[in-house]
């Protein structure tokens, strides 16, 4: 997956790559989010964004940047 870096995040050598975790299982992905934050930090909080998806950017305790996206499941028609 490729993505742009938000303007408010300073680009330093070594932080130009992020790992991504995404899917539709809200409980599983929020559990992954919580695990990444153990000893880590938040660059962008996990919050509901466009199309009801939740998106956030943590950095784990090893300094690895992540992007997390929980895809909203459309309501049954």
CATH code of residue 62: 3.30.720.110
Dihedrals phi, psi of 24, to nearest 5 degrees: -110, -10
> Which tokens sit at 72?
């909203």
Interatomic CA distance for residues 30 and 21, integer angstroms: 11
**Helix, strand or coil, per DSSP, at residue 30:** helix
The pLDDT assigned to 17 comes to 78
The tokens of 64 are what? 């690895």
What sign does the dihedral 19-5-71-43 (CA atoms) show? positive
- Inter-residue contact 24 to 60 (CB < 8 Å): no
The predicted-structure confidence for 64-73, as pLDDT tens digits, reads as follows 889 999 998 7
Per-chain mean pLDDT for the chain? 84
Q: Note the pLDDT of residue 10.
A: 72
Q: Residues 51-73: what's their mean pLDDT?
A: 90
Q: Is residue 54 part of a domain?
A: yes
How many domains, in total, are found in the chain? 1
């Amino acid at each position: 997956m490729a993505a742009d870096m938000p303007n408010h995040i300073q680009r330093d050598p070594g932080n130009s790559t992020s790992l991504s975790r995404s899917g539709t299982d809200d409980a599983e992905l929020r559990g992954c989010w919580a695990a990444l934050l153990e000893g880590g930090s938040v660059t962008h909080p996990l919050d509901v964004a466009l199309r009801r998806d939740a998106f956030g950017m943590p950095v784990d305790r090893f300094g690895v940047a992540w992007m997390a996206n929980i895809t909203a499941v459309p309501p049954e028609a």
